[in-house]
Amino acid sequence: MPRRARLDYPGAFHHVIARGIERKYIFKEEYDKQQLYTGLKELLKVSNVQIYAWSIMSNHFHLAIQTGKTTLSEFMRSLLTRYAINYNKRHKRNGYLFQNRYKSVLCDKEEYLLSLIRYVHLNPVKAKLIAFGQLKKYKWTGHRELMNAELDGLLEKDEVLRYFGNKEKEAKSGYYEYVKEGLNLNEDFIGGGLIRSMGGVKEVLSSKERQMYDDRILGNGYFVERILKRLKETDEYAKFFRNIDDLLQRVSKYYQIGKNELLNTKTMKVRDARNVFVYLACTCLNCTATKVGQLLKIKQSAASIARGKGMRIVEEKNLIKKL
């Protein structure tokens, strides 16, 4: 059976797992883990992706990642190729290092962001490599970055902690307790699709509603349907707006507000317009949340949240055709 294409688009949120060939150790030493970490950090400087969680184990690693103009395939190809070449040289070996293709599951960010972050960061604890009390100082997950505000790392810290409180101390405490609750949960985000999102085969069979299913996607049937429809229309959307100024003009005209008002004010009156503008700029023009945030004078974390809100507005009102 031929391999099915990966699902991706600017703003897609993925759980990625890459394993060593035959499940062999590919991070034998601390130095090996540091090389992957360094590769990730350097790639983030030249690509348009955002990382929300990561962990490096002995024979695999996990990422919770959101793509932008840089596709998931481009990012992962650069990361894995670079690491494999350097690893083979250091360990005097030849041949493939990673098992087949890395696995990626496109997730409903609104539904699974926090639970996926918890799952990824608890990996070494669940594998009994360390105790939970050691996780705060453990170097090979993003948990340490979130618990130490002064530590500069890979993660979108502001956006993650914002879910747990507006003040740093409150947010870190809330995040810590949330992760701790996961110790007694049997969470698993390795596979996607309707069965997992609904809680099992029994729940799917007992459901009175027929919902779409795709094992490359983690979300309910309505999310699956929305994503597949969106992917089908992506090329059409990309051709619809000429540039950022064209998009700004169309959104302003639709909402009957001035362009400067859309860009520079944050009142309730322009909230939906700004959210729609962020979403369409990221989706149709491949802009990053950082770039759009600069235009609207908001932080990247706020732009990412606005993008999700904008997506719902566009889909509910079928705004592409109306614009």
Same domain, 41 and 176: yes
Q: Has residue 169 been placed in a domain?
A: yes
Distance (Å, rounded) from C-alpha 41 to C-alpha 38?
A: 5
Q: Has residue 296 been placed in a domain?
A: yes
pLDDT in tens, 2-16: 456 678 888 899 999
Same domain, 35 and 143: yes
Compare 230 and 255 and report the one with higher pLDDT.
255
Distance (Å, rounded) from C-alpha 273 to C-alpha 269?
A: 8
Do the bridges between strand 13-19 and strand 60-66 make them parallel or antiparallel, or are there none, so unpaired? Answer: antiparallel
pLDDT in tens, 250-308: 999 999 999 999 999 888 889 999 999 998 888 778 787 778 888 999 887 788 888 88
Do the bridges between strand 103-107 and strand 13-19 make them parallel or antiparallel, or are there none, so unpaired? Answer: antiparallel
Compare 201 and 321 and report the one with higher pLDDT.
321
Q: Has residue 226 been placed in a domain?
A: no
Q: Phi and psi dihedrals of 121, rounded to 5?
A: -75, -20
Q: Has residue 199 been placed in a domain?
A: no
Residue 78's pLDDT is: 92
Q: Which of 300, 310, 305 is nearest to 255 (CA)?
A: 310
Same domain, 180 and 247: no
Q: Has residue 90 been placed in a domain?
A: yes
Same domain, 24 and 165: yes
The pLDDT of residue 188 is above 80: no
- Number of domains, the chain: 2
Q: Has residue 292 been placed in a domain?
A: yes
Q: Has residue 320 been placed in a domain?
A: yes
pLDDT in tens, 52-77: 999 999 999 999 999 987 889 889 99
Confidence band for 101, pLDDT divided at 50, 70 and 90: confident
Q: Has residue 143 been placed in a domain?
A: yes
Same domain, 18 and 152: yes
Residue where a domain terminates, one of 164, 184, 204 = 184
Same domain, 148 and 246: no
Confidence band for 202, pLDDT divided at 50, 70 and 90: low
Average pLDDT over residues 141-160: 89
CATH number of the domain enclosing 248: 1.10.1750.10
What is the residue-averaged pLDDT of the chain?
Answer: 85
Same domain, 130 and 277: no
Residue 274's pLDDT is: 94
Global pTM value: 0.72
Same domain, 78 and 155: yes
Average pLDDT over residues 224-247: 76
Domain that holds residue 79: 13-184
Residue 208's pLDDT is: 47
Quick check: helix, strand or coil at residue 208? coil
Residue 316's pLDDT is: 82
